Structure 1
Amino acid sequence: MRSLANFILFQLGWFVAVLYPGQLAALAGVAIVAGHLMFISAFPQREFRFILMATVLGSVLDVVHQNLGTLSFPGHEGAYASGMIPAWLVMLWAVFATAVNHCLYWMRHNRLVLFGMPPFAGALAYAAAERVGTIEIGYGLWGIVAIGVGWGLIYPVLVRISQWLESIEEAPLHEQRW
């Protein structure tokens, strides 16, 4: 039931961010993460640490894409034009981080899925956001490939960080679940 609730909140967060980028999406992301930590997570302190780490790494990845011209934000000027990503995208990374240890937990047990699915799923999510005008992907197909490569690298790293946090848990569980 927790995984289903997490999946619904994750999808809600993604749709709000993509359809209403801005302050509303950032606030929705904060609310989703807070609700997740209060009502879904069995280990909220550990998961909060993971969400912070994943959000920083994901945001760095998007800043790199933005600075390389692979990712841009139409209609945004100022800080977004000089290498920063919007707050709603940072919060979307936090919302995504909640899914890694819940509705996407199953992926860590199959190496083919762990390494094969994120490049396609990540690139597809960004392409969908581009289709509705939330973001722009530079360099055409090569930009999508670059985003996929980024996701192919970052997702296994996030899973490894999650496993490391599980391993330092004071009271190990028979089957470690978040």
Structure 2
Amino acid sequence: MNNDTRAGLVGNVLGNQAVWLCAVAGAGRGVAWPAVVAALLYCAWQLRMSTTRAIDLRLLAVALVLGCVVDGGLAAAGWLDYAAPWPATDFAPAWILALWAAFAMLPMHALAWLRHRPRAAFAFGAIGGPLAYLGAARGFDAVAVTGPATLTWMVLALAWGAAFALLMQVAGRASAPAPQPVAREGVPT
């Protein structure tokens, strides 16, 4: 089954949102395992259905590194305090990395329309990323801003904008057709 059918795209988005809900609800209650289990199930399902499995796996690896840098950096700086901070308080918690893993399943499918629109991808990440943190903070007590508030939100917006634009660039390059050799008159290809 092709993951890019209308039903596949809806499942791609709804599954991602289900992982987010499991992650922030679990973290708000002090546990990381709901996020990890939900992300494992969701990513396995998406990869099984995907026609772009190799690219999705590459995006997964890039997203996990970005999660370690962005969320790990903000935790280490003391600007974000994560509920359920396992494995360490100055590193990106497992439930946050589960969210990054789930997010990596979107660029080749539901958000494919942003692959070759770097400015729109940056804006999408710069707005959507902080809104997800705001929802996690206010609705679930899963994260708290403990650094300078305005600066923390600005850094989150810039970091998420850059991270999402990078993910879209990786997706765009990986999915671009290979260049075909140009035949010259009298020269076989």
Same fold judged by TM-score > 0.5?
Answer: yes
Distance 2:98 2:121 in 1: 23
Partner of 2:109, secondary structure, is: coil
Judged with a 3 Å threshold, the aligned counterparts in structure 2 of structure 1 residues 163 and 108 are, in CA distance, closer, same or farther, namely closer
Q: 2:141 maps to which residue?
A: 133
Residue 80 (structure 1) aligned to one of 85, 88, 91: 88
Q: 1:5 maps to which residue?
A: 11
Matches within 5 A, 1:27-38: 27-38=37-48
Q: 1:175 maps to which residue?
A: none
User: Normalising by the residue count of structure 1, what TM-score does the alignment of the two structures yield?
Assistant: 0.84
Unaligned runs of 5+ in 1: 172-178
Partner of 1:103, secondary structure, is: coil
How much does 1:75 deviate? 5.7
Q: What's the Cα RMSD here? A: 2.2
Pair 1:62-2:62 in alignment: no
Matches within 5 A, 1:14-29: 14-21=20-27, 22-29=32-39
How much does 1:109 deviate? 4.2
Aligned length in residues: 168
User: Normalising by the residue count of structure 2, what TM-score does the alignment of the two structures yield?
Assistant: 0.80
Q: In the TM superposition, what whole-angstrom CA distance separates every residue of 1:3-33 from its partner, at most 9, and x where no partner exists?
A: 1110111111111111113112111111110
CA contact (8 A) 1:115 1:152 kept: yes
Judged with a 3 Å threshold, the aligned counterparts in structure 2 of structure 1 residues 94 and 169 are, in CA distance, closer, same or farther, namely farther
Pair 1:99-2:106 in alignment: yes
Which structure has the greater CA radius of gyration? 2
The residue type paired with residue 90 of structure 1 is: L
Judged with a 3 Å threshold, the aligned counterparts in structure 2 of structure 1 residues 100 and 153 are, in CA distance, closer, same or farther, namely same
Residue 51 (structure 2) aligned to one of 42, 59, 71: 42
Q: Which structure's residues are more often helix, by fraction?
A: 1
CA contact (8 A) 1:59 1:90 kept: yes
How much does 1:155 deviate? 1.0
Q: 1:174 maps to which residue?
A: none
* Percentage of identical aligned residues: 25
Unaligned runs of 5+ in 2: 1-5, 181-189
